[in-house]
Amino acid sequence: MIHFFKKPVSHLALPEKFTYPFHYTPHPLCVLAAEEVKAYIASRKEWQEELASGKMFGVLIVQTDNGITNNEENQIGYLAAFSGNLAGKNLHPYFVPPVYDLLQPEGFFKIEEEQISAINIRIRELENSSSYLDSKEKWKIETEQAKAVLNQAKAELKMAKEAREIRRQSSPELSEEEQASLIRESQYQKAEYKRLEKEWKKRLEELETEVRYFDIEIERLKTERKERSAALQRKLFEQFRMLNAQGEVKDLYTIFEQTVQKVPPAGAGECALPKLLQYAYLHQLKPLAMAEFWWGDSPKNEIRHHGYYYPSCKGKCEPILQHMLQGLEVDENPLLNPVHEEEELEIVFEDEWLLIVNKPAGMLSVPGKAEDRDSVYHRLKKKYPEATGPMIVHRLDMATSGLLLVAKTKKVHQDLQAQFANRSIKKRYVAVLDGIVLSERTGRIELPLCLNPLDRPRQIVSKEYGKEAITEYKIISESEKIIDESERSINEPRKYTRIVFYPLTGRTHQLRVHAAHPEGLGCPILGDELYGKKADRLYLHAEYIEFRHPIYGDIFRIQKKADF
């Protein structure tokens, strides 16, 4: 199962620490391993149709017991894995096996799954049976008919009562016999209405009983299905007994008990990296570095590009990896390290009421949960300790540079936020895209966005749950140059597009998703490691902002060119 490199690797230094899986640059050994895995995948013609729809693969660089102190080629190798299953199977000789093979024919999962499938079939049969559908339709029709008949009878009863009142008023000298006759008529008509009402009630109850017979059975089957599914899921997740480098074992239910969701999501434990680590621990292999890459087309809602490297997903994998990586020395999260600690924050404009800063790429707009983290807000609080502000009016992604509007008072903050809400503030961003855009030179993108709850902070396109997101754009130029990247086996031309964005809404990651998504421009912003490929920075800069000054009423136009 362990693969040794086809090319010499003794000249490559081993990583000092294991990869931080949620934010990383692939180690050269991982790149070499991934290239070999890609070549193997491409050679399997029978998989290509299925893989066209896309799948995540992973590699894990490992060291055997007798290779602890040196980098001899036969002691450093790699493991390969895929997420989920491949070609309807969990077991393929080239890849590590699953932590638990839920597809084994005689296993409890397949047997119970068949039972649940049988329940599903029975539910569909009952819901679509002619007897059930006919009974429902008949009950519906006769309910409407009963309503109409009783309403008509009630109206006639009312008219008869009014006629009797008119007769009494027009003939005040009615005899006792005539008075008694009117009373008998009233009693008879009321009795007839009650009889009619009782007949219809009995008829509808009979029809409803027929319908309820089916409803009760369908509901019973659905309850049984739900209980069986919950029990199956629990039993299944208990089979995923995850190891860590310290030899400790926890099943998925125990791992996820400490999370917000409490219960493991579907597919937990079946991603590539947990499989790779589990195999390494079971076979006394030391994990050195990891990388995961996408093969095939991008999913409809998410953004994945063929051959690109991606971090591990957070919803399914973060709790699992927090356990599995214990005992390994892991790289720190680079996002937690201040990259502008000694750099003075540039103030582009300032008056008594507000200021505009040029936020550097890699600095937070606000500190978030960790209040002591370096951010624009943190810096300005130090600079203006006596001010009622500063108050950040809007935000830029940590990786984005450019103009950020800050209010010094609550009143100014409220006014500027209102301008953002009614879309009277105009913004312009400049970006470099990693590729050539095939769309028109100018255009408009409307793709609704929402958070991917299983992979924060990624956003997805969702017509069902997404909020309106609108971006206008203008392509400025295209360029091509030769680059030398560690992940490329040969030098080759790299094409870029310089573009200007005019966001009409302000959704999280709006420009990044609209650039990268196949239904947008299909070209990620250069350096966008969430939706594209990592570079020395994210090539996105907020270069222009236009707003009405809350105090003076004048239109202010502020510009700061990008340094790329």
Query: What is the model's pLDDT at position 70?
Result: 46
**Listed residue (2, 1, 21) closest to 289, CA to CA:** 21
Query: What is the model's pLDDT at position 233?
Result: 86
Q: Write out the CATH class of domain 338-559.
A: alpha beta
Residues of the chain with pLDDT under 70: 66-74, 337-342, 369-372, 387-390, 481-493
Query: What is the model's pLDDT at position 130?
Result: 94
User: Residue 31, by phi and psi: left (phi above 0), alpha (psi -120 to 50) or beta?
Assistant: alpha
Verify whether residue 397 is a known catalytic residue.
yes
Catalytic residue among 397, 434, 455, 528: 397
Beta partners for residue 36, in sequence order: none
Query: What is the model's pLDDT at position 109?
Result: 81
Residue 423 token pair: 């879309």
Residue 438 makes CB contacts below 8 A (sequence gap 6+) with 522
Query: What is the model's pLDDT at position 554?
Result: 96
32 in Cβ contact with 7 (< 8 Å): yes
Query: What is the model's pLDDT at position 341?
Result: 64
Per-residue pLDDT tens digits for 143-191: 999 999 999 999 999 999 999 998 888 887 888 898 899 999 999 999 9
Query: What is the model's pLDDT at position 35?
Result: 97
**Listed residue (398, 349, 393, 316) closest to 556, CA to CA:** 349
Contacts of range 411-414, beta carbons closer than 8 Å, 24 or more positions apart: 411/550, 412/353, 412/354, 412/550, 412/551, 413/389
- How many Å apart are CA 231 and CA 223, to the nearest integer? 12
Residue 172 token pair: 């005040």
**CA 483 vs CA 185, 487, 510: distances in Å:** 102, 11, 28
